[in-house]
Structure 1
Amino acid sequence: MAQVAAAIDYIRENRDNFMLESKHTKICEPIVRKLDQVLVILERRIERRRAKTFANEALRLTKNAVDLWRPFYYKKRGDELEPSEISAFIKVFELIEKQFAELIRRETGIGPPIGEDHGRVVALEEDVQLVTSRLISRKMVHEMVAIVGRGGIGKTTLARKVYDSAVVRKSFDCHAWVTCPENLHRTNFQVNIAVQVMPSKKLKNAESMKKLLARFLESRRYLIVFDGIQTPQDWNIVQELLLAGCKGSRIITITSRRDIVHDGPDCFVLEKRPLSDEEGWELLNARVGFSIPTELEEIGRGIVMKCTGLPLAICKVGDELSKKEAAQDQWYMVLQQINQDQLLLYDSLDMAADALPFNFKQCLLYFGHFHEDYEVPVRRLIACWVAEGLLQKIIDVTETPEHAAEKLLMVLVQQNLIMVAKRKLNGKPKTCRMHYLLRDNWLSKAKEANSRPVNSKTVAYEPSRGKGMILRLADHLNKKDDSFPHIHGNNTISSSSFKKNYFDLCSFVSFDFREGPLPGEELGNFFRKCIAVGCFKKLRVVDLEGVFRPKLPDSIGKLTHLRYLGLRWTYLQTLPSSIGKLLNLQTLDLKRTYISNLPVSLWKMQQLRHLYLSEIFRCRFMPPPNNNTLIDIQTLWGAYVNEETAIKEGLDQLINLRKLGLAFRLTLLEQKALAKWITKLNHLESLRLRSLDHEAAQASDIYLEPLSDLKKLSSLYLFGRLANPIIMYNFPESLIEITLSVTGLMYDPMPNLEKLPDLRILRLFAGSYCGRKMVCSSGGFPFLRILKLWELEELEEWTVEEGTLPILREVEIRSCNKLEMIPDGMKHLLHCCELMITRMPAEFKTRISESQGQDWHKIAHVPSIIMKD
C-alpha cells in the first residue's frame, strides 16, 4: 500500500497549493472540492486492493491539473494572457474537474444517471446533431421527429440531450416533456403540457384549460416531447396536436413500436440501432473507468456480447464492474449472473424467430453455413440470399433484391435475432452473427433444413425430391462431417454416394483456409466428380473465398443455374474457358486474384449484376462484341480501362451502375467521354477513379465533369491530378465519404468540403493539397467523424476555429513535415477520442509531449494519443 500512501501525500500537497491559489481566483475551487472527496475515499479504503487502481487514476488527473495550472499561474496569474487564452484554459480545467467527478461517481455509486455519459463513446453526438438540425430548421411548417428502437437502446437519453441543449431551447418559445402512461388520455396530457408552458396561469377546469392551451400554442413556436408512445391511438392524438398552428413547431415522439410510426413529409424517423461489438467494448471500457487488462478481455467481451448492443445494459454492468476488484473470479460472477438473467430472454427470442414469415426464416437459417463465432460479412450474406432467391416474395417492384435484403437484415437486427459485430466507417453493418442465445437451437434447425428436400411451393426453384440428401453444404474441414471423406478423402467412394448426397445441392461454401496446393486440388476433384455424375445441376451458390487457388474444372460451365461465384482472396491465376457459359451468373467476385484477362464471353451473361475484379493486376475490361451489353449490372469494381476499351457504345451502355471503381490510362479525349458517361449514372452510390501514366505506376491527370447531379453518390475516391479542379465546387451534398490523393489542389479545399452536410469521413492523402494554409471554419463539417491528413508536404499552418468539427472523433496527421504545430482549436474538439501522429518531425512531437510540451493543453482532453515513427 506504499504506492497508495505516496499518491495520498502528493494529492494532499497539491490540494493545499490549490487552496492557496484559490484566494486569488475561483478557478481552482471545483478542483479543490474534488481533491477533498478523493482524499476521503482513499483514506477510508487504503487497505482495499482496489484502492491502488483508484489512486493511480486520481494521481494522473491531479498531475494533469498541476501541469496545466503551473504555466498559467506563473504568467502573473493571468495578467499576460489574452481573454481567449484564459477562456480556453478554463474549459480544459473544467474538463479535468468533470473527469474527477466521474472517477468519484464510479467509486461511490453516486452521480449522473445511467446512459448520460455514453454519448462520447458511441457517437450519440452524431444522432444529437442530426435531430437538432431537424428541430432548429427555420421551416415554418410543423414537423415531427420519431425516435424508434427497443428498450434500453438510448432513445430517451438522445431525446433528453437534444431537449436540454441551449441551441434547441432558444429556438422555441416554449417547451414541454410528457411521459406517456400506458394509455394516453387527451385531457391528462394537455394538463401536463399546460402546467409546463403556462406555469403562471390558473387552470379552473379541463374545458377552459384546453381552450386556453390551444390559443397559447397557436401563436407560438413550441417543442413537445412524448416519451413512450405505445398505441396507434396515442400516435393519432399526437398528430392532432401537430396540426394546430403553423409557426414551425416540432414534436418528438419516443417509441419502441416501428409499426405505429407513419413516414411522411412531416415526419422524420430516426431508428436507433444497437451497438456493434466494438462500440460496446469501447463503452464498457469507458464505464468501468480504466483500460481493461488483457487477462480480463475475453470475459469482458463475453459480457458485451451478452448485453446485445444495449447501452443501458452495458452501462449497468460497467458500473457494477467498476466497484469490483479487477480479477477474473469477480468478473466471471458477473458474466454468470447475466447468463441467468437472460434465460427468460431466450424464450422471447425463440418465439420471435418462430413467428417470422417463411422467407425471413430461410434467411435466418442461412447462418447455419457459418461457425457460431464467425463474423459473417454482410456483403457475402446478401449476395447469397439474392442468389438463392430467398427474397423473391418480399421484393417491392420499385427496389432491387439487394436493397430488399438490406432491409430484411435490419429487421432481424432490430428484433435482436442478428447482432452487428462490426460496422463500416459510414455506419453500415460490415459483419454480423446470430444472437448467441439462438445459436444452438437455430443452428441445429439450420443443419436439419439444409439436409432434407424442401417443398417446391416454398422456394423459388424446385429440387428433385428424394434424390439428394443435402441442400446446402459448408465445408469446415471437420472430420466428423459426413461430407469430409467426399471432399478430402480417397478416390474409392462410389459415384452413387455422391449422387445420393449432392444431387439437389443448391449452395456450397468452403472454409478450407490451409496453405499450399492441397485445398485447391481436393476441391477441384470434388467438383469434377460431382459434375461428372450429374450433381450440382441446381447449384446456385459457390463461395470459395479464401481457399488457395481452387482448381476449378472446365466442366463448371455445366452449372447453368449458378448465380454466385465467389473467388475473392483465392489468388487464382486463370479462369476455366467455360466460365462464359454461366449465363445466369449474377455475381462474379475476382477481387484479390491474379486474373488479368476476362473472356469476351462475359458479355453474354445478361443476368450479371456484380463484377469485382483485381485492380492491382490490371484486370482489363474488354469492349463488348457486337451489340451485347450488361444492362442489369450494378457493380463494376477494380476494372482496368485503356485505349483498347470502348467507352462510346461500350462502357457507356452500362447505365444502371451503383458502384463503379476504375483504374485507367486514357487520352484526354477518351477521359472526356468517360466523364460524360459518369454524369449520366443517376443511381451511382460509390465512385473510385485512379488515373495512371503510361508506366501505370504514377498518377496522371484526371478529367471530370461536375458531379452535382449524382444525388445518390455517397462515397468518392479520386487518385490523379485534377485537370479541372473547379469540380470541387460541385460535389453532391449526399457525399458521406471523400478520399483525395495526388489531386494537386493549389487552393484550400476545406471551404468547399466543410459545407457538405452529411460528410462523415475525409481523407486528404499525399499530394492532394499543395498549399501552405488550411482553415476549418466555424460551423463547418457538422457531421465529420474521421479526418486524415497524410503527406501534405507544403502545409505549414492549420487553423481550427471554434464551432467547427463538433463531433470529430478521430484525427491522424502523417508526414506533414512543414506543419509547425497542432492547431489551437483542437482544444475545442471535446468529442475527439483518438489523435494519431505518424512520422512527424521531432520538434512537432516535442510541442505536444505529455504535461511538458507547450501545446499539450490543446490535446490534454483526448483519451488516446498515439505517436508512431
Structure 2
Amino acid sequence: MASASITFVLNRLGELAVKEAALLSGVADDIRLLRDKLEWLQTFIQEADQERREGANQYVGLWVRQTRDVAHEVEDVLDEFLRRLDHDTLRQGVPAWRRWLDLAASCTTQVSVRHDLSERMEGIKKRLREISDNVDKYNIRTFRPPAPGASSSANNSTVNTVPAWDEGTDVFGFKDEKKDLEHRLLNSGDTTSVISLVGESGTGKSTLAWEVYDSRVIREHFDVRAWINVPTQIRDDDILYFIYKRLCPNEAYEQNISIPGKVHEALSMYLKDKCYLVMLDGLVNFSNWNSILHGLPKNEKGSRVMIITRLEDKEAAYANPKGGLLNIKHLNKEESSSLFCHRVFGANNQFKGKIFGSRISEFNVQMEKACEGMFKITHGLPLAIVVLAGLLRTKSISEWEEVLKKLESDNEPKQVKKILALSFDDLPSRLKSCFLYFAGMPENLIYNARRLVRLWAAEGFLKPKKAMTMEDIGQNYLKELISRGMIRLVKRDLNGGVWLVAIHDRLHAFAQAEAHEASFLEVHDNADLLAPGVVRRLHLQNYTETYIPMGTTFPKMRSILGDFAEERTQNGQTSFSSIVRAHGPLKKQGNNSDLRYHALHFLPASKFLRVIDLRGLRIKKVPGAIGDMIHVRYLGLRSRSLAELPSSIARLINLQTLDIKRTEVKKVAQAFWEIPTLRHVVANMLGLPKSAGVLNNMQTLTGFLCSDPSGNDIKPLQNMVYLRYLQISGLDQRHWATLGEVFQKLESLMYLHLAGKDIPFKLFTKFTLRRLQILELLGKIDTSDVKEDDQYTLPNVTRIVLKLSLADQKFIDKIGELPSLMELVLSKDSYREEKLLFSDKGFNNVTSLVMDNLTRVSEWIIRPMSIPRIQKIVLSGCSKMEIKLEGKEGEEGLEGLMGDLKEVVVCNMPHEDSIVVKPTNSAFGEKINRVAIKMKSEDITDAMQRDGRWRTGMIAGKMYED
C-alpha cells in the first residue's frame, strides 16, 4: 500500500508544478529532484510491500513503513505550503484594493514560506538518502522478479476487464439446498418458525437466500416480506424499526414509534393476521438475535424468520435452539468449474479469444488443467473462485500457470488470504486507494456509487483523463473493481452505470487489515483515539448514539466520515424519548431543554481536511472558522437539527461537493455560488441562487426550491451548462417561460425532476434536452396549448415517472411515440380520464410498466401492436380497472402479443381471483393471469423497483439515497 501513497504524492507534485508554477520560484528544483527520487522508490516498493506481507525479510516491513511515512511527510509539507500561500484567495468577497494591499504586505512572508519549504524538502531528501543507505546496509534488496499476479503497470487500469463488469450473478450449484430451503419456508407448519442459514464466510449464503426470497413461489406464498442487511453495533429497536419501515413505509412516518416499546407494539399489531417472511442478513450478536425474535409476533399463519449468519453450527444452535439449521457447504468440482468459467470468460464466452489469443486451439486442454488447479486452491469456496477468476481474466493464458502455482498451499484459509492479497497487489495504485476506502464503510451494507465516486474525487484518487469527467472516471474504477470480483454490483442505473454496490465481509475484513497496516485510515466507534496526531483518515461508526464527544484534535487528518444513529422524528420534531434512552436525562437550559448538539470545534484544528462527511450526528451550528479550511473538497452534513450554514463556507475555494440533504438548511451565502470548483450540491429544500458565477464543473443540483415569484432565481442555471442532474420544486406558471429558456443551455442534462403546478406540455416540444434520460413530473400537466402536430423532442428518454399529473389521452399518445422509452410509471392520479388507450403506434420499446392508484381509470385498452416488448407489468390500487383487448384472435400482431411478458404483479385490484381481460376467453388473458403474482400493498415496493432486486440496508435512506 506504500506504493499507492507514493503515487498519490507524485500526482500532487505534478499538479503543483502545473497549477502553481508562479509560486514555485526558488523551490522548483527541490520539488523536481524529490519527485525523481520518489519515482525510483515507487518502482521497487510494490514488490517490497508483498514481501512485507509474507514476512520474507524482517527489514522489509520497516523499509516499507519508513518510505510510506516519508510520502506522508511530503504531502504534509505541500499542503501546508499551499495553505499559507493562498492568503489572498481565501479572502474572497474582500474588495480588490484590499486584497492587493494584503498581497503586497505578504511578499516577505511568501519568501519566508518558500525558504521554509526548501529547508523541509532538504530534510526529506536527507531522510530518503538514509533509507536508501539502509537498504544496502541491511541487505533488504532481495526482491524476486515481479510476481505473475502483480500488475506490471501500477498506474494504468487494465482495459479488458471493464466490459465484463455487469455480468449476471447466476447461482451455480446448491440445487438441493435451494429445494430444502424452499420446503422449510413453505411446509414447516402453521406455527411461526425460525431458520438459520449458516456456513463459512464466502460460501454464497446470501446469494442463495436471495434467489429463494425473490422467487415466484415465495412471493406468492407470503403476505409480506422484508429483507434487512444488519450491520454490527446496532440497537435492537432500530432493527425492528427498519423491519416495520420496510413492510409499511407510509405508516412508519405516521405513527410515533420512536417511544420504547412502540415498535414492538406496532409490528405485533400489523403482523398478527399476516403470513410474513423476514430475512436478517448478517445477524451474529446473540442479544440482538433474541430481542428481534421476541419483537416479532408469533402467529399461526405459517410465518418465517430466516437468519443468515456466519456463526458455526453449534453457535447458531445455541443462539436459537428451537430453530432449524441449514448449513451451506462448498461447491463440488463440476459446480466450481462452471462458476469459474462463467466469471473468467463471461456468460457467452465472449472473453475467451482475448485470454487465449493465438493459443485458442489449446482451449480444452488448458482449461481442464486450469480448473484442476483452481479447485485445489479454492476447495470450491465461491468467493475465492470469483476473486481468482477476476484476477485471471486480466492475464493471458501463458501467465495462468505461474499465478496458480504461486497460490498452491496445503493451508486452506491461507490460500483464500493469498488470493485476496494477490488480487489486491495486482490492482493499479489508484484502484488500491479506492478499494481500501471500503474499509471505512459500515460492514454488510449497500453503498451508493455516486457518493463513493464523489468522495474518491475529493480525496484525489481519480486520475484526470481528457474528454472524461471525474464522475465517468470514477464509474470506470468501480466497474473494474466489480469485474475483478473485489466488490459486488447490486444494481445498475438506467444509464447503464453502477448505482448500488456492496463488498463481501471477508474482503471488507481484508481491506480493514491492509488499511490499518498502511496507516491509510482508522475505523472507530468514537473519537477517543490513542494517537490522534498521526490519524490521516478517520471513519466513525456508531449506530447507538446520535451524539459523541469529540474534543480531540487531529492535526494531520485529511478525511473524517461518520455514520451515527439517526434521530427519528415525528412531524419534524425530535423524539425526546429516544434521546433520553440514548443518553439519560439531560439538564434543561432555558427553552432549548432536551438536546445536546455537537459544536464541531475540532474541525478548525484539522487544517488539512479535504473530506468532511458526517451523517446522523446531532449538529445545530457549524463553526465559522470552517471557511479557513481551504483544502476542503467535500462537505457533507446530514443532520435533521441543522438549519443554517455560516457565510464563511463561500471561502472554501476548492469545494466540489456540498451535501446537506436531510437538513433544514434553506439558504447559503450568495458568494458560495461563485466557487468555480463546485460539482455537486445535494440539498433538501434549498433556495436557488439569485446569481451565480460561471460554474462549468457543476454536475448536480437536487433538492432545490424555487422561491422567487418572478422566476429570477432560475436564470443562474444558465451558467451551469454541463449540469447533468436537476431537481426543482415549487414551480408554477410564473416560472415556466424562464425555465424553457434555461433548458436551451442545459444540453448535458440527463435527469430532470420537476414539481409544480400546470407543467406545460410545450416545455418538452422544443429541440432541447436531447440527452435527457430520466424525466419525473410531479404535478398537473397543462396540454391546453398543444397542437395536433406538436411532437416531443426527447430522443433519449428511457424512463418517465408521472404523479398527480392528471394527464389526458393526448399526452399519453405523445409520450408513447418517444423512441427510447423503456420504463413508464403512472403513479397516483397521473391520468384523469376513464379510458386509457395504448395504441398501435406507441410504446414500442417499453419493457416495464407501473400503474399505481389510477382510481379514475375503469378501462385500459390495449391494441394488437402496442407494448410489444413488455416484460413486466405492475398494477396496484387501480380499483375500477378492467383490461380490454381490441382485435380478434388470429389477427396479425395479436397472436404474439406481449410475447416477452414474464411477470404481472397485482395488488389491491377489484377482482381477487384473476385480472379481468375482455374478451374473457382470449389466449392473451390466459397468459396474463398465468404470469400474474398476487401481492399485498405492503410488498408492492419490491415490484415497483426498476429491476425487482432491492435489499434494504439498516440505514435505509442513508445508504441508498444520493
SS in structure 2 at match of 1:365: helix
Tell me: CA distance 1:278–1:743, structure 2 relative to 1, closer, same or farther (3 Å): farther
Tell me: CA distance 1:353–1:309, structure 2 relative to 1, closer, same or farther (3 Å): farther
For 1:621, the equivalent position in structure 2 comes to: 688
Q: Does 1:443 align with 2:512?
A: yes
Alignment check: 8 A CA contact 1:274 1:309 kept:
no
Matched letter for residue 412 of structure 1: L
- Give the superposition deviation at 1:407: 1.0
Q: Does 1:273 align with 2:166?
A: yes
For 2:536, the equivalent position in structure 1 comes to: 471
- Give the superposition deviation at 1:529: 3.5
Tell me: CA distance 1:634–1:743, structure 2 relative to 1, closer, same or farther (3 Å): same
- Give the superposition deviation at 1:536: 1.5
- Give the superposition deviation at 1:683: 0.7
Tell me: CA distance 1:743–1:521, structure 2 relative to 1, closer, same or farther (3 Å): closer
Alignment check: 8 A CA contact 1:571 1:592 kept:
no
- Give the superposition deviation at 1:828: 5.1
- Give the superposition deviation at 1:434: 2.7
d(CA) in 2 for partners of 1:304 and 1:738? 36
1:413 to 465, 482, 496: 482
Matched letter for residue 790 of structure 1: D
Matched letter for residue 449 of structure 2: V
Alignment check: 8 A CA contact 1:687 1:716 kept:
yes
Q: How does 1:303-342 map to 2 (within 5 A)?
A: 303-304=203-204, 329=325, 331-333=327-329, 340-342=379-381
- Give the superposition deviation at 1:277: 9.9
For 1:663, the equivalent position in structure 2 comes to: 729
For normalisation by structure 2, the TM-score amounts to 0.50
SS in structure 1 at match of 2:791: helix
Matched letter for residue 775 of structure 2: L
- Give the superposition deviation at 1:523: 7.7
For 2:601, the equivalent position in structure 1 comes to: 528
**What are the superposed Cα offsets for residues 273-301 of structure 1, whole Å, 9 maximum, x if unpaired?**
13469999999979987795685574599
d(CA) in 2 for partners of 1:743 and 1:808? 23
SS in structure 2 at match of 1:593: coil
d(CA) in 2 for partners of 1:433 and 1:413? 10
- Give the superposition deviation at 1:423: 4.1
For 1:835, the equivalent position in structure 2 comes to: 904
For 2:94, the equivalent position in structure 1 comes to: none
- Give the superposition deviation at 1:510: 0.7
1:558 to 611, 624, 628: 628
For 2:556, the equivalent position in structure 1 comes to: 504
d(CA) in 2 for partners of 1:597 and 1:447? 40
- Give the superposition deviation at 1:353: 2.1
SS in structure 2 at match of 1:689: strand
**What are the superposed Cα offsets for residues 789-838 of structure 1, whole Å, 9 maximum, x if unpaired?**
23434433323345654553432334434423475989954654553444
Tell me: CA distance 1:447–1:258, structure 2 relative to 1, closer, same or farther (3 Å): closer
For 1:376, the equivalent position in structure 2 comes to: 447
Q: How does 1:282-681 map to 2 (within 5 A)?
A: 295-296=194-195, 298-299=197-198, 303-304=203-204, 329=325, 331-333=327-329, 340-342=379-381, 343=384, 345=388, 346=416, 347-391=418-462, 394-424=463-493, 428-451=497-520, 468-477=533-542, 488-489=548-549, 498-499=552-553, 502-513=554-565, 515=567, 524-525=598-599, 527-531=600-604, 535-549=605-619, 551-568=621-638, 570-615=640-685, 619-624=686-691, 628-641=693-706, 642-646=708-712, 650-668=716-734, 670-681=735-746
d(CA) in 1 for partners of 2:838 and 2:175? 28
d(CA) in 1 for partners of 2:877 and 2:859? 14
**What are the superposed Cα offsets for residues 41-62 of structure 1, whole Å, 9 maximum, x if unpaired?**
xxxxxxxxxxxxxxxxxxxxxx
Q: How does 1:248-263 map to 2 (within 5 A)?
A: 259=159
- Give the superposition deviation at 1:408: 1.0
d(CA) in 1 for partners of 2:641 and 2:175? 35
1:722 to 760, 778, 782: 782
Matched letter for residue 538 of structure 2: L
For 2:826, the equivalent position in structure 1 comes to: 764
Deviates more, 1:420-429 or 1:378-387: 420-429
Alignment check: 8 A CA contact 1:847 1:854 kept:
no
Q: How does 1:188-203 map to 2 (within 5 A)?
A: none
Q: Does 1:812 align with 2:885?
A: no
- Give the superposition deviation at 1:380: 1.6
- Give the superposition deviation at 1:737: 0.9
For 1:773, the equivalent position in structure 2 comes to: 835
Q: Which runs of 5+ in 1 are unaligned?
A: 1-256, 262-268, 316-325, 454-465, 492-497, 693-698
Alignment check: 8 A CA contact 2:495 2:773 kept:
no
Root-mean-square deviation (Å): 4.7
For 1:745, the equivalent position in structure 2 comes to: 807
d(CA) in 2 for partners of 1:260 and 1:379? 24
For normalisation by structure 1, the TM-score amounts to 0.55
- Give the superposition deviation at 1:704: 1.0
SS in structure 1 at match of 2:745: coil
Alignment check: 8 A CA contact 1:349 1:416 kept:
no
Tell me: CA distance 1:705–1:283, structure 2 relative to 1, closer, same or farther (3 Å): farther
Alignment check: 8 A CA contact 2:797 2:820 kept:
yes
Alignment check: 8 A CA contact 2:613 2:637 kept:
yes
- Give the superposition deviation at 1:375: 1.8
d(CA) in 2 for partners of 1:284 and 1:736? 39
Alignment check: 8 A CA contact 1:375 1:431 kept:
yes
Tell me: CA distance 1:814–1:749, structure 2 relative to 1, closer, same or farther (3 Å): farther
d(CA) in 2 for partners of 1:653 and 1:385? 26
Tell me: CA distance 1:649–1:792, structure 2 relative to 1, closer, same or farther (3 Å): closer
Alignment check: 8 A CA contact 1:634 1:658 kept:
yes
For 1:230, the equivalent position in structure 2 comes to: none
- Give the superposition deviation at 1:528: 0.4
d(CA) in 2 for partners of 1:376 and 1:816? 34
- Give the superposition deviation at 1:272: 6.3
d(CA) in 1 for partners of 2:665 and 2:425? 45
d(CA) in 2 for partners of 1:635 and 1:472? 26
Matched letter for residue 676 of structure 2: Q
Alignment check: 8 A CA contact 1:679 1:705 kept:
no
d(CA) in 1 for partners of 2:521 and 2:496? 38
Matched letter for residue 632 of structure 1: N
SS in structure 2 at match of 1:524: coil
d(CA) in 1 for partners of 2:731 and 2:456? 37
Tell me: CA distance 1:700–1:333, structure 2 relative to 1, closer, same or farther (3 Å): closer
Matched letter for residue 630 of structure 1: L
Alignment check: 8 A CA contact 1:629 1:654 kept:
yes
**What are the superposed Cα offsets for residues 236-287 of structure 1, whole Å, 9 maximum, x if unpaired?**
xxxxxxxxxxxxxxxxxxxxx99579xxxxxxx9756134699999999799
Once the two structures are aligned, what percentage of the paired residues are identical? 24
Matched letter for residue 848 of structure 1: I
d(CA) in 1 for partners of 2:765 and 2:749? 14
Alignment check: 8 A CA contact 1:827 1:857 kept:
no
SS in structure 2 at match of 1:792: coil
d(CA) in 2 for partners of 1:278 and 1:777? 40
